[in-house]
Amino acid sequence: MSDINWIAPIVGGIAAAAAYPFYNKLFTKSTYESGWTTENGEYHVHIARMRAARPYLRVKITDKTREGGCLRIFRDRYLVQNYDEEKYSEVVQDIVKWYENKKIKK
């Protein structure tokens, strides 16, 4: 096997690593961070509103009670619309409710 077959993946990986911060800044419209407490636990929620043909929210939930969390993309029109209208508490409440229903109460 020749050494030329290793050059393209290495160069592609370096280019992708260099381009990712610029891509992230270009397509991130706004961000919001919040702490949220419910009867089931305490959470830290980071929301990034992304620009795209079909806008979406990239959400990172850190579960402080259970030392876990998740990263998820929400394409729900209702959530994006409420986020754009700056109804952040409603959006965070819906996201935490989803997390508790899907991840905790399996």
Q: Is residue 11 part of a domain?
A: no
Q: Is residue 56 part of a domain?
A: yes
Specify the pTM: 0.73
What domain range is 91 assigned to?
29-104
Q: Is residue 96 part of a domain?
A: yes
CA–CA distance, 31 with 75 (Å, rounded to integer): 16
Q: Is residue 69 part of a domain?
A: yes
Strand partners, 50: 28, 56
pLDDT at 27 over 80: no
Q: Is residue 41 part of a domain?
A: yes
Cβ–Cβ < 8 Å for 79, 91 = yes
Q: What is the pLDDT of residue 94?
A: 92
Q: Is residue 5 part of a domain?
A: no
Q: Is residue 34 part of a domain?
A: yes
Query: pLDDT tens digit string along 35-82?
Result: 888 888 889 999 988 888 888 899 999 988 888 888 999 998 999 999
Q: How many domains does the chain have?
A: 1
Q: Is residue 87 part of a domain?
A: yes
Cβ–Cβ contacts within 10 Å for residue 43, how many? 22
